[in-house]
Structure 1
Amino acid sequence: MPTHSRHLVLSAAVAGTLMLTGSIALLPAAAAAADTGVTASLPARTTSVPAADQVSGSGQTVVWRQTTSADRLPHGWLSVAGGAAQDLGALADTDEGVGVDAVSVQGSVVATATSANPNGALADHVTLRHLDTGTQETLAVAYDASGDAPDERYRAQAGDGILVQQAYYDDQSQYRVRLVLRTSDGDRTLLSDDEQDEVLASDADGALVRRRTAPSWDYRIVYVDFATGATVTVAEPDSEALPQGLEFTPTHVGVIDGATLTEWRRSAPGQDPATVALPTDKARWISDDTLAWYVWSADGNELYAMSRDGSTASADDLGGTFRDISVGDDGRMRASLYRPDKDAAVQTLVDGRVSRADGDATTIPAGQARLDALALSGGTLYTADDSSRATGVLLSSRLTAGPSGAAATTPSRVLAYGTGTVHQTLAAAGDRVLVEQGDAYQVYDNGTLTGVPLALGDTSADHVMDFDGEHFLLSDKTTVNNGTLLLYTVATGASSRVPAGSALDGGALYTSVKDGTSLWSIRRTDLATDTTTTVTTVDCLPGSLQVRGSWVLVTTCGATSQQGLLIRTGSTTSRTTVDASVRTPVLGTGVLYTFTKGTGADVTLNARVLDVAGATARPLFTLPSKANSAAAERWAVDREAPWAAWTDDDGVTHAVWAGTPSRTSAAASVPAGFSPNGDGSSDTWAPTWTYDRPVNWTLTVKSGSTTVRTLTGTAAGGKVAPVWNGKNTAGASAAEGGYTWTLAVTDTVTGEPAAGLGGTVVLRRTAPVASVTAPTLASDGSSSATIPVSWAAKTTGVTSYDIGWRVATRDSKGTWTLGPLQTWRTRTTAKSAVFGASGSPVAPKAGLTYRFYARAHDDAGQTGAWSAVAATGVPYDDRSSVLAYKGTWTSASVASAWAKTERVSAAKGATVSFTAAGTKLRIVATRRSNGGRFAVVVDGVTVGTVNTYASTTGYRKVVFTYTLGTKIASHKVQLKVLSGSTPGRSTVHLDAIMVTR
């Protein structure tokens, strides 16, 4: 903490009941703008408590000075017994920096120093308000700014008088300066013959004064007693810096040097001082009975306190974070408490501790802060506040624009800064901000310093031209001479010179290069790989470049041109001239900002959304004037998202959405077709699209070039949901077939169009029909237990199919029941599959019959009925345990047979028996040139004779089919080998048996 930061004034306790009279009024609160359309407003930012050296206290009366709004003269404020703060009016400018107290209180008298100079100057009169009587008087100060006789400078209050530094010529016409005590009764000289007297502390009884004395102009600090005129030197510093600790209380004057306190009694300043050995050399401040000091920590200044006489063995941690403290004329310490981003207070300390007594805390009214710069990036608004806080602060607020309107989150602190002036340079890219602090450029990532600061020593003539988060382009003093920009890499601190007019975007540097012809090439250099490519050419001398995505803005096209050129890279036709006569246009991501001038000096910012047919330049706001010629602009645009912002004269920051409605990330629901046939399914076409803004919409349906139907509406919540019932404009049914549609959308508030949408829809009135085919037996198509199934559409417009299957099962009582329909394929676009192959729901089992069904879905969203069944049985192999053989049979391996085996017999009378529980019997055998005959006996009755002869061998042939009945019942079946029809044709090759259930 600087040793010269001291506040030293004031006098005795407040007398009697205090009265407040005269023109004292409360400061009106700043009104917050409200807009539920496309503009969001942040209330005026408020400043916190002044520093302690701007606070004067006497008993329960506290006064201070505070700026009431951006860049205006400070006002004086008064609070009694912790009551509501009262505005004492505007004060004089006190920028001379010689310790003048513009507003102070001693006893029951408030001194307000003001100036009649409207531009602000040192006080030319001081008004003394007597709080106990309500009277006031004015003491003139002959201030003329010359410094020559009889120029006067107000230096401090002295109870119901004032201390004035007065220039004069002595009897030898020598220039002199004296310190005068002025009251309504006249002047009395206290000190004279000095070049400068700076009052460090005063009250109604005396003052501490720092003097520069001739002829050596050494520094001396003296205490002067008003009643007697006696003085005592309390310190002789080597420079203008004050001693380690210097203060006076109602009873003592004290100086701390190291761990020693030297003090004089004010009632007898001429007597020898007393010394007190202190337990620490960190003590700084003294009241009648307490010393206090700071210990710096990352969380702020911690304030400690101890007994003034040194009797306390160790200090007590007060536990608070304080910026500064001061001592009033009543000997009571007061601290300025700082709480980030909130209003704060002047708090009285008793014995070094926060006082809980009524009236010992005074809330400072929230005055307007000075938002010196704005920056926008990706929908985040950054504001730099360099107002009267102990340190400046950088704030961020997230912006959104939805169906309920534009909104901004409460500003939150990104970082606090104690050096430099962030308001002079503020740029943002994503979560990174570039600020100027202490003649250096620094980048913060989410509030944390990142990379290597660029220290140039003097940034007064520098300008940041572009910033992408990783690099920035700086137009510094050197560029005036060689026509280049400085490209600075934040992470490494590396820098290089690049051509003037260059731009940054997407990790690349864009420059203009003459290619030896009449054309200029705009080139992109990847800053990571150093790869250079040409993105486009222009046939004019380009001005500076701006690049965002696939768009390039040449700010001027020609040496004396006031027209820019907007270019879509990759296109030879997308080139548009842009007016640059008022101000340089700004290219954002998907938005072009331009400027127009009104009849007066007003300039309007306009925004046109790119890549949207029919979009026009929409006026956003009139640019606010700068606070002064040295201040930053009070408006900004977002080059990453469609936002712009400005701050008005009342300190309210407004952010306006400059975009156009866009569809949300959720996929739109747009049926490909519908079927208005009254069946309750897809009878209307009801597409939906969801936008992030309230929109007006128009849906146009055409057949060829003829408009069939037009639907319009407003989506207050952003959800567009038209419904077409299949009727044309005349109310008649539209013909079955395909139609084209287009959707046109505009923002209901701004009228700005969104990007157009279009597509096709099919209207159908006939439900889709499908058919399914499968072999009667699985053995008809292969030698294994798999079933090839195919299906097909029988109507037009079919887009997919569902395939189902059923099978009969037998319960524990032996009853066969057909099971429920189960799904095998859902909305498949295939036309065939193999049941039993990989991915099938079950493996087909021998002896069961599998039934297959198909249904179709069409492009109108209809689902047809299930088709007729296609049934396939899986036969028992000749080796199945359900078959009982008698006589001579042999087993043979045959690759083409069902399950690759056959049972062979040529013995007359050999039999195979089994129980058939089903509705139909099928015998599968191999036909051969030696094929013999067999009889089929059902329930003791021969129902057929089968001859298996064939000149050509045929495998897996159904050689016999017999209907057992309409219901499933058990039957005894026997196959008996008969004698051959001719010699050599007597062998039966039995392959499989199938009973349909």
Structure 2
Amino acid sequence: MLGAAALALATGIGALTAVPAAAGPAAAGELTVAPLPHQEPSHKMVFAAGPNGVTLPGPSRGLYWKSFADGRETPQANCDSGPYHGPWLSIGDTVGCEYRAVSSTTPGPLTLHDQATGHRETLAVPAGLSWTGTYSPTQVLATEKDAEDRLTLHLIGREKEPRKDVTVSAPERIPGSSFWVRTSDEKGALITYRSAAGQDTLALLDFATAALTPLALPEGAPDLGSVDYALGYEWVSLRKRGSGTVTVRSRTDLAVTRSVTTSTLYGAVQPVGDWLVAHDAYATGDAVTAVPVDGGAPRTLLARSSWRGMKTGTDGSAYLAGGTDSSHWAMYRIKPGPDGAPALTTVVDLPPNPADRVTLSLAQGRLITGQENPDRSLQSYDLPLSGTSPAGQAPDWSCEEATDDRLCAPRGEIPGWTVPTGDGRIVSLTAMGTGTCGSSLCGTVVNVRETRPGGSVRQVPLAGTEAMSSYLVESASGRYVMFSAMENRNSRMVLADIDAGRVLDVRPSSAATLWGSTLWDRGDDGEVTGTDLRTGTATQRADLGCRPYELQASGDWLYFTCSAGGAGASAFHLPSKKRIQLPFTPASDAAKLGDGYVAHRTDTGLEVYNLRSGAPVREREIAQPLHRYGSDWTVDRFGGRPAYTDAGETVHVVGVTGKASPLAVIDQDAPATVDFRSAKAWSSRWWLSKPVSSWQLTVRNKTSGISTVVRSGGEARGVIAPAWDGKNQGGAYLFTGDYEWTLTARPADGQTPELRTSGSMKVTGIPSRVVRPPAR
């Protein structure tokens, strides 16, 4: 129970005594916006594969083995006993573990765990031999080293192999320093070493015959570094890198060869059955093709594939990630089908990774995210304003950095690069490129884009900035933008009207902030002043108790700090003139004001303090690392909520309980006269503090007293801008004369009273009969 705080939430802030910060109730109404799929397909490595299953990485850490027969998934077998334990080597379906003391160089027994059957067997190491870590279902390869560091190879029989120690016949003893088992399967292994004559040697070891046979390198290949080679179940393939001709040798009889032509010059080629599968990771299409060893037309197996290449299983199957696009991607097993041709089966589907979100802004319930996918762009979402409707997951609008890097470049490292104005627009700054400041960065152009399909894009050059070098937008609201700049080596704040395209004759301090047409700025003492930029008149004042270093404004609230270090961080409620001390000292850009709340970034996450009771109630604590404001967290100061991006790139827009500030007009442009002989319409605009669900514009003739609804509409976010053509809604012209206009609007949050605001205008030039309206 919140007690007095709950009462205040219901009645609005009154003369409450501040209470210590406390954990409040969970805020309701959370919305989530999932990321778009990344255009770069996801990848999953195949660590080992056998005839019965495949070893893959788990979703977080560790590996798991997946059965082909029944799809069961189990953690990879490990070496869980003995003085030394841990997976030593995984080949096919089997994990091998050698047990020895941690610091010992003496070989120990080898335990082999078959993950398909669960069977374990342990082999004692023969005297004088060492395990190589290469094994088949029946044998384990070991080495014997002589005094000259040359190796003799041995095949040690497993449980079901009657030959317990077979010496491999080889053309020479192999130098231990150059011996390397490149790949192996159930039938043998490809081994490389440097011969006694100093030549790079590639040799095939046949487990059944215990014979090691050197293979001639392809013509023109000077060494092993220029050769692509692969071990298939029926064939061995060799080619000179960069050549389209591949030589394949039969493993049954190495004298039997074939010459196969492929379109693949680089990348991997892999014999699968009696076909040669080719994967060119460097080609534009990344297609995977297969061609028969004995000749014939090639086949396309996959339209696109992963650049990370193929993995070969111990039964001769090939494994490769591919598909059509990132949303239709999988790890495939390629093995001979019923007709002998390569056929695909899905090992595991690979859903797309999320696009990387790099920026975040929220204004009037309009969420704008910047992303890398891998191209950089902005995406806009209009969030539901009331009720329990979920947020739409498809963006309403987007723009690409490659198309317009002035306004569509999400720069998370510079949160003030692209800023929403709260009326459906975003702004950024670029330089004119000419001026008198001695740099190509002289002069300021404000780039303005409407964030809707088909929205306009304007560039507004600002006269009077030729000697300035602008930096970042510091505050924006509606038609007014304030930015920092350097002029004559001195920093200053510049205020501009982007609709009129002019710099205002105002010199804001570094603490100033905008709220509609009101510029809030500090004085020489603890008093701050709200000045109406339309008239230059100070309309509001507040005594904050210290000369603020920083100011923010939202609805009926101000936020401020009393020093550069964040001391005295407080909120001020303007109607009640209540100062609310906050229970933290924020770092720069670590606290942002919303309507009746403050979001504060800490070392461990984000805190949301609800101020609507008259005390700082910590209503929500988000325990995840967050970075700079505008990069992965933000607030909607126009009557909205805070938002953050989680580790999975999903945006969360969280609710804040209690009563918000009333709907208000924060700026307006309603001409006092209209002459329809020269104007097609009375164009007026009202900027609002938060979104509305519906609105209506009425004009009342002051002579007759007759009121007429001339325009109406539904949802509006930030601005209502009707153009009245002098007619009623039936299409008939009204009379000339003096009128009172009245705008009424319903707030979308349903919390506060209906807005009603009025003004006067004189209507002339109505193109109809000149008849005075009847007097009341």
State the Cα distance separating 1:213 from its structure 2 match: 8.2
State the Cα distance separating 1:78 from its structure 2 match: 0.8
State the Cα distance separating 1:591 from its structure 2 match: 8.2
Q: State the distance in 1 between where 2:152 and 2:210 align.
A: 17
**Aligned twin of 1:84:** 71
State the Cα distance separating 1:154 from its structure 2 match: 8.2
User: For structure 1, which runs of at least 5 residues remain unmatched after alignment?
Assistant: 1-34, 93-99, 117-123, 142-149, 415-429, 433-443, 474-483, 673-687, 694-741, 761-828, 841-852, 857-997
Q: TM-score, normalised by structure 1?
A: 0.42
**Aligned twin of 2:608:** 606
State the Cα distance separating 1:577 from its structure 2 match: 8.4
> Compared with structure 1, are the counterparts of its residues 182 and 501 closer, same or farther at alpha carbon in structure 2 (3 Å cutoff)?
farther
Deviation string 1:560-611 (CA, Å, 9 cap, x unpaired) is: 553569999xxxx9999877624443447878743277xxx865422679xx
**Aligned twin of 1:40:** 31
Q: State the distance in 2 between where 1:182 and 1:199 align.
A: 16
User: Which of 120, 132, 139 in structure 2 is aligned with 1:136?
Assistant: 120
The CA RMSD over aligned residues, in Å, is: 7.1
Find out whether 1:274 has 2:274 as its counterpart: no
State the Cα distance separating 1:278 from its structure 2 match: 2.1
Q: State the distance in 1 between where 2:375 and 2:76 align.
A: 25
The question of whether the paired residues in 2 share the 8 Å contact of 1:259 and 1:282 is answered with: yes
Partner SS state of residue 54, structure 1 = coil
Q: State the distance in 2 between where 1:365 and 1:558 align.
A: 52
Find out whether 1:264 has 2:249 as its counterpart: yes
User: Which of 416, 423, 427 in structure 2 is aligned with 1:466?
Assistant: 416
Q: State the distance in 1 between where 2:616 and 2:485 align.
A: 28
**Aligned twin of 1:360:** 345
Partner SS state of residue 330, structure 1 = coil
**Aligned twin of 2:634:** 637
> Compared with structure 1, are the counterparts of its residues 248 and 408 closer, same or farther at alpha carbon in structure 2 (3 Å cutoff)?
same
Partner SS state of residue 273, structure 2 = coil
Partner SS state of residue 695, structure 2 = coil
Aligned AA (1:252): W
Partner SS state of residue 230, structure 1 = strand
Which structure has the greater CA radius of gyration?
Answer: 1
**Aligned twin of 1:581:** 585
Q: State the distance in 2 between where 1:77 and 1:392 align.
A: 35
Q: State the distance in 2 between where 1:639 and 1:140 align.
A: 69
The question of whether the paired residues in 1 share the 8 Å contact of 2:77 and 2:115 is answered with: no
Q: State the distance in 2 between where 1:52 and 1:162 align.
A: 29
State the Cα distance separating 1:111 from its structure 2 match: 3.2
Find out whether 1:654 has 2:635 as its counterpart: no
> Compared with structure 1, are the counterparts of its residues 562 and 128 closer, same or farther at alpha carbon in structure 2 (3 Å cutoff)?
farther
Q: State the distance in 2 between where 1:551 and 1:523 align.
A: 25
Give the fraction of aligned pairs with identical amino acids, expressed as a percent: 13
> Compared with structure 1, are the counterparts of its residues 411 and 838 closer, same or farther at alpha carbon in structure 2 (3 Å cutoff)?
closer
Q: State the distance in 1 between where 2:621 and 2:31 align.
A: 16
Q: State the distance in 2 between where 1:383 and 1:181 align.
A: 59
Q: State the distance in 2 between where 1:171 and 1:562 align.
A: 75
State the Cα distance separating 1:203 from its structure 2 match: 0.9
The question of whether the paired residues in 2 share the 8 Å contact of 1:248 and 1:286 is answered with: yes
State the Cα distance separating 1:756 from its structure 2 match: 7.8
State the Cα distance separating 1:315 from its structure 2 match: 2.8
Name which structure has the greater RCO, CA cutoff 8 Å, separation 6+: 2
State the Cα distance separating 1:403 from its structure 2 match: 3.0
The question of whether the paired residues in 2 share the 8 Å contact of 1:287 and 1:308 is answered with: no
Aligned AA (1:111): V
User: Which of 27, 41, 63 in structure 2 is aligned with 1:75?
Assistant: 63
Map 1:502-901; keep pairs closer than 5 Å. Answer: 503=474, 510-511=483-484, 522-524=493-495, 534-537=506-509, 558=563, 560-563=565-568, 581-583=585-587, 584-587=589-592, 593-595=598-600, 603-606=605-608, 619=618, 621-626=620-625, 635-637=632-634, 642-646=640-644, 654-657=652-655, 660=660, 662=690, 664-667=692-695, 754=752, 757=755, 838=769
> Compared with structure 1, are the counterparts of its residues 91 and 393 closer, same or farther at alpha carbon in structure 2 (3 Å cutoff)?
farther
> Compared with structure 1, are the counterparts of its residues 228 and 104 closer, same or farther at alpha carbon in structure 2 (3 Å cutoff)?
closer
State the Cα distance separating 1:80 from its structure 2 match: 1.3
State the Cα distance separating 1:170 from its structure 2 match: 7.0
Q: State the distance in 2 between where 1:90 and 1:470 align.
A: 57
Partner SS state of residue 667, structure 1 = strand
**Aligned twin of 2:735:** none
Q: State the distance in 2 between where 1:66 and 1:505 align.
A: 48
**Aligned twin of 1:224:** 205
The question of whether the paired residues in 1 share the 8 Å contact of 2:156 and 2:165 is answered with: yes
Q: State the distance in 1 between where 2:115 and 2:76 align.
A: 16
The question of whether the paired residues in 2 share the 8 Å contact of 1:85 and 1:365 is answered with: no
Deviation string 1:133-169 (CA, Å, 9 cap, x unpaired) is: 441347899xxxxxxxx9x9986664466679x9x99
State the Cα distance separating 1:553 from its structure 2 match: 9.9
Q: State the distance in 1 between where 2:368 and 2:110 align.
A: 44
State the Cα distance separating 1:290 from its structure 2 match: 1.6
The question of whether the paired residues in 1 share the 8 Å contact of 2:28 and 2:656 is answered with: no
> Compared with structure 1, are the counterparts of its residues 304 and 395 closer, same or farther at alpha carbon in structure 2 (3 Å cutoff)?
farther
Aligned AA (1:321): R
Deviation string 1:542-561 (CA, Å, 9 cap, x unpaired) is: 99989899999998654555
State the Cα distance separating 1:77 from its structure 2 match: 3.3
> Compared with structure 1, are the counterparts of its residues 86 and 839 closer, same or farther at alpha carbon in structure 2 (3 Å cutoff)?
same
Find out whether 1:206 has 2:188 as its counterpart: yes
**Aligned twin of 2:528:** none
> Compared with structure 1, are the counterparts of its residues 277 and 394 closer, same or farther at alpha carbon in structure 2 (3 Å cutoff)?
same
User: Which of 308, 311, 315 in structure 2 is aligned with 1:330?
Assistant: 315
Deviation string 1:200-232 (CA, Å, 9 cap, x unpaired) is: 42112222245578998x865443334525142
The question of whether the paired residues in 2 share the 8 Å contact of 1:235 and 1:255 is answered with: yes
> Compared with structure 1, are the counterparts of its residues 188 and 350 closer, same or farther at alpha carbon in structure 2 (3 Å cutoff)?
closer
Q: State the distance in 2 between where 1:532 and 1:180 align.
A: 89
Partner SS state of residue 416, structure 2 = strand
Aligned AA (1:135): H
> Compared with structure 1, are the counterparts of its residues 595 and 453 closer, same or farther at alpha carbon in structure 2 (3 Å cutoff)?
closer
User: For structure 2, which runs of at least 5 residues remain unmatched after alignment?
Assistant: 1-25, 80-86, 101-107, 419-425, 431-440, 448-456, 460-466, 510-521, 526-545, 662-689, 701-711, 718-743
State the Cα distance separating 1:316 from its structure 2 match: 3.4
Q: State the distance in 2 between where 1:553 and 1:514 align.
A: 29
**Aligned twin of 1:254:** 237
State the Cα distance separating 1:262 from its structure 2 match: 2.2
Partner SS state of residue 64, structure 2 = strand
The question of whether the paired residues in 1 share the 8 Å contact of 2:359 and 2:370 is answered with: yes
**Aligned twin of 1:147:** none
The question of whether the paired residues in 2 share the 8 Å contact of 1:542 and 1:555 is answered with: no
Q: State the distance in 1 between where 2:381 and 2:124 align.
A: 53
Q: State the distance in 1 between where 2:583 and 2:300 align.
A: 64
Q: State the distance in 2 between where 1:563 and 1:177 align.
A: 76
Aligned AA (1:664): V
Partner SS state of residue 405, structure 1 = coil
The question of whether the paired residues in 1 share the 8 Å contact of 2:53 and 2:116 is answered with: no
State the Cα distance separating 1:656 from its structure 2 match: 1.8
Find out whether 1:377 has 2:364 as its counterpart: no
Q: State the distance in 2 between where 1:187 and 1:625 align.
A: 58
**Aligned twin of 1:400:** 383
The question of whether the paired residues in 2 share the 8 Å contact of 1:589 and 1:640 is answered with: yes
State the Cα distance separating 1:255 from its structure 2 match: 0.7
The question of whether the paired residues in 1 share the 8 Å contact of 2:32 and 2:653 is answered with: yes
**Aligned twin of 1:20:** none
State the Cα distance separating 1:636 from its structure 2 match: 2.1
Q: State the distance in 2 between where 1:90 and 1:395 align.
A: 46
Aligned AA (2:239): I
Aligned AA (1:404): G
